[in-house]
Chains A and B, each alone.
Chain A
Amino acid sequence: MPLTIADLKKGQRAVIIDSSSEDIPLKLLEMGCLPGNIVELLQVAPFHDPMYLNINDSYLSIRKETAALIIIEKVNE
């Protein structure tokens, strides 16, 4: 199983590797959820859902099920 945004812990950062799943809304891509961009998990609501992210300097929240479609690679800090 590849790592996805849903696996991030609060405060962690990662690089988006793949966001081409058909179930990811185009709007999310337009907000900068594209391969190569940095994603940081800022805050989570109870049950880790929804997730409040900073993607490519866009601040947005998405549901965990969508987050689980976006494949990432952790960055070493």
Chain B
Amino acid sequence: MSKQINVALIGNPNTGKTSVFNALTGLNQKVGNYPGITVDKKEGICKLSRGVKAHVLDLPGTYSLNASSLDENVVIELLLNKNDKDFPDVAVIVSDVENLKRNLLLFTQIKDLKIPTILVVNMADRMSRKGISLNIELLEQELKTKIALVSTRKNEGIQELKTLIENYKNLSIEPCLDTSTIDSEYFANLKKAFPNQDLYKLWVVISQDANFGKIDRNELDFSKFKTKTKSELKRLQQKETIKRYQFINNTLKEGQTIDKSKATDLRTKFDKILTHKVWGYLIFFVILLTIFQVIYDWATVPMDFIDSSFASLADWIKMTFPEGGKFTNLIAEGVVAGIGGIVIFIPQIAFLFLFIAVLEESGYMSRVVFLMDRIMRRFGLSGKSVVPLISGTACAIPAIMATRNIENWKERLITILVTPFTTCSARLPVYLIIIALVIPEGRFLGLSYQALTLMLLYMVGFGMAIFSAYVLDKILQTNRKTFFVVEMPNYKLPLLKNVALTVLEKTKTFVFEAGKIILAISIVLWILASYGPGKDFNNAETIVEETYPELQGEQLDNKVAAYKLEHSFIGIVGKSIEPAIRPLGYDWKIGIGIVTSFAAREVFVGTLATIYSVGSALDDDDKTIKNRMANEVHDNGNKVFTLASGISLLLFYAFAMQCMSTLAIVKRETNTWKWPMIQLFGMSFIAYVIALIAFQILN
């Protein structure tokens, strides 16, 4: 029988908690959701010794047990609920050696809950460089805990930590200090009213506004208890904090010595430039520019390879398996084309997540928040909105989830509403293929026109987000106080393992989540495109032969296939919306693409791939989707993809709200269908109008 120890990793943000998690669990980890809410739940298995395993839960970063965000609520809810299946046998508090003082605040609170607790002092390899030395024995005694000095960077101390976890039963569960003395009378009354409850737990619940799911106030009936006013409670919380710091300061006075003369200070040197009033902004802009150039340039090589590989695969399937069989066609034209349409994004998405992970890990992202706050506030946003807006370039879903740390509701709501305007990775394939079709090659100042167009599209998306935020700021009325506290972590060289795991995790999620939808839609589309009602579809060969008696061989086959597609189920749908999209420069095939894109944007390319491979026989030089699209003509012989229709299509995709998953997330985060519906109709209306104007001017 193997036995599992429940371990919860708890700590302030930026303490390297996730690095410790990665070091403990390696690849044995998975990311899920807490039931009902969308906070990432990271858990993994760690082998301690023969037959003993630990189930490790990486809880969201929190500064204290006083929740100011949903993420922090998760921590408190778990720690207060002994019946939760994840309730920890042992809590591992991860702290940063450079800021023990503040990290210990949370530590003393957890100790008050009487959970066996281990203190991890992380980044211990920095101690000598910072002139810090610790008296571990004394600290362990004062804090009534065991301490593990860990350096995930050098992979030191992990084994010691594992041993401590395995022997968790030896840990003390005695609190470090008695906080009830901040108002003895009040706490005595509290104890009298609820004799069966833990006193500190009562205080945590009673002093906070937040709603803790299962541990709501009804269970603990506070109605009979004469509690204090809100401001009295806040004063008490302040007193509690002061008291805790007094204890911590006294403890550290003896247990920690810092020789400032030995400290080398990278922070000051870097900050002098990176947060500079001029250089700071310039560097930020250059970093953004570099990211886009790299995503565009570096990713094209693997992407071209993937594109042609899938084309050959489809070819090979058609050659190898029974000719003309329906099933063979479904695989070659529906499934392979559909999967190819997803796999092709992997290089770019991976690069983008790589950059975002590096910027986050290095500590630079907080500097961006600092630089941008004042500017963003002018538009009703917060400096913290920059992170969601930048993450939005990967995917709006994690970006909207990242708005949780914006404490002001109005700023948060506006950020949620405008984030889908930023260019997410799902738009990228649409952009790339259309840019390749309609934007000429050539270079300007060493940057290709195509890369510049892409950069411009990102800026258009960002600009629209800012502009609509400004409008929303004027419309929405609230009088909540602003509230902005951003920690500026020290600069760190990103850990390769952390970055790699993030990139892997995010890319995997994207491919599988989006992949499921795309694959399903591809198959449905293929069926709709391969069958049709009535005589026109079923007698296509005869009709075409009669109408164009001069056609022979391959030309005839193509004409028949095209005729069939036009009269298939999907052709009928496309045709029926054609009048509405004609003024935008699109034909009915693009119409089908747009309709299916409302499930998810990236479906567009897959849809066109399916439609065009159904619509034409495979020639040698005609294999890739791009070539097929380039050769596409209207009935009058004019090319479908011109500069005018291309730009119009790019702008339509830039603004339209085409993503079911985002709408679902917005509903969850705002708790009403009102906001996602406003997004769906508002954004799509804007998209239509702007695409219309663009086409009419350019044409």
The answer for the CA separation of A20 and B225 in the assembled complex, in Å, is 27
Q: How large is the interface on A (under 10, 10 to 19, 20 to 34, 35 or more residues)?
A: 20 to 34
Is the C-beta of A6 less than 8 angstroms from some C-beta in chain B? no
Is B370 touching A52 in the complex (CB atoms < 8 A)?
yes
Given the contacts A57-B99, A61-B486, A66-B484, A45 and B66 also touching, CB distance less than 8 Å: no
A45, B373: Cβ atoms under 8 Å?
A: yes
**Chain B facing A: main interface SS:** helix
Contacts of B64 in A (CB 8 A): 26-27, 30
B277 at the interface (CB under 8 A from A): yes
A52 to B366 Cα, complex, angstroms: 11
Q: Given the complex, which residues of A lie within 8 Å of B238, measured CB to CB? A: 20, 26, 29
Provided the pairs A34-B245, A45-B277, A49-B374 are in contact, do residues A28 and B487 lie with their beta carbons within 8 angstroms?
A: no
Per the bound structure, the CA–CA distance linking A26 and B241 in Å amounts to 9
Most B C-beta atoms less than 10 A away, residue of A46, A56, A61: A61
Q: Per a CB cutoff under 8 Å, which of A27, A28, A45 touches B370?
A: A45
- Flag A1-21 by CB within 8 Å of B: 1 or 0 each: 000000000000000000010
Nearest residue, chain B, Cβ from A43: B275
B369 to nearest A CB, angstroms?
A: 8
- Contact between chains at A25 and B485 (CB < 8 Å): yes
Q: Which residues of A contact B102 (CB under 8 A)?
A: 30-32, 56-58
- What is the CB-to-nearest-CB distance from A21 to chain B, in angstroms, rounded to a whole number? 10
Residues of B near A43 (CB, < 8 A) are 271, 275, 370
A74 to B369 CA separation, bound complex (whole angstroms): 28
Question: Do B482 and A63 touch across chains, with their CB atoms under 8 A apart?
Answer: yes
Least Cβ distance of B256 to chain A in Å? 11
The reply to whether the CB of B231 lies closer than 8 angstroms to some CB of chain A is yes
Residues of A within 8 A of B66 (CB): 26-27, 30
B63 touches A42 (CB 8 A): no
Query: Is A77 engaged at the interface, CB distance under 8 Å to the other chain?
Result: no
A30 contacts B105, C-beta separation under 8 Å: yes
Are A27 and B485 in contact (CB-based, < 8 A)?
Answer: yes
Question: Does chain A have a CB within 8 A of B242?
Answer: yes
Main secondary structure of the interface of A (DSSP, over half): mixed
Which of A25, A28, A45, A46 lies at the interface centre, i.e. has the most chain B CB atoms within 10 A of its CB?
A45
CA distance A69 to B591 in the complex (A): 57
| Smallest CB gap from B72: residue in A | A27
Asked whether A60 and B63 contact (CB < 8 A) given A46-B374, A52-B271, A65-B482, the answer is: no
Shortest distance from the beta carbon of A47 to any chain B beta carbon, whole Å? 6
Measured CA separation A43–B68 after assembly (Å): 26
Question: Shortest distance in angstroms between B481's beta carbon and chain A's nearest beta carbon?
Answer: 6
**Choice from A34, A49, A52, A57 contacting B488 with Cβ under 8 Å:** A52
The smallest beta-carbon distance between A30 and chain B, in angstroms, is 5
For the complex, give the distance between the alpha carbons of A67 and B407 in Å. Answer: 17
Q: Is B508 an interface residue (CB 8 A)?
A: no
B484 touches A32 (CB 8 A): no
Residues A45 and B68 in contact, CB atoms below 8 Å apart: no
CB of B490 within 8 A of CB of A59, answer yes
Q: Is the CB of B374 within 8 A of A61?
A: no
Give the residue of B275, B374, B482, B489 whose beta carbon is less than 8 angstroms from that of A47.
B374
CB 8 Å contact bits of B460-490 with A (1 = contact, 0 = none): 0000000000000000000001111111111
Q: For the complex, is B516 an interface residue (Cβ under 8 Å from A)?
A: no
Does B267 make an interface contact (CB < 8 A)?
Answer: yes
Known: A27-B68, A30-B102. 14 other contacts (CB 8 A): A25-B483, A26-B64, A26-B238, A30-B105, A34-B242, A43-B271, A47-B374, A50-B370, A52-B271, A58-B101, A59-B267, A59-B487, A59-B488, A61-B485
Residues of A participating in the B interface, judged by any CB pair closer than 8 Å: 20, 22-23, 25-32, 34-35, 42-43, 45-47, 49-50, 52, 56-63, 65-66
B interface with A by C-beta (< 8 Å) = 63-64, 66, 68, 99, 101-102, 105, 231, 234-235, 237-238, 241-242, 245, 267-268, 271, 275, 277, 366, 369-371, 373-374, 383, 407, 481-490
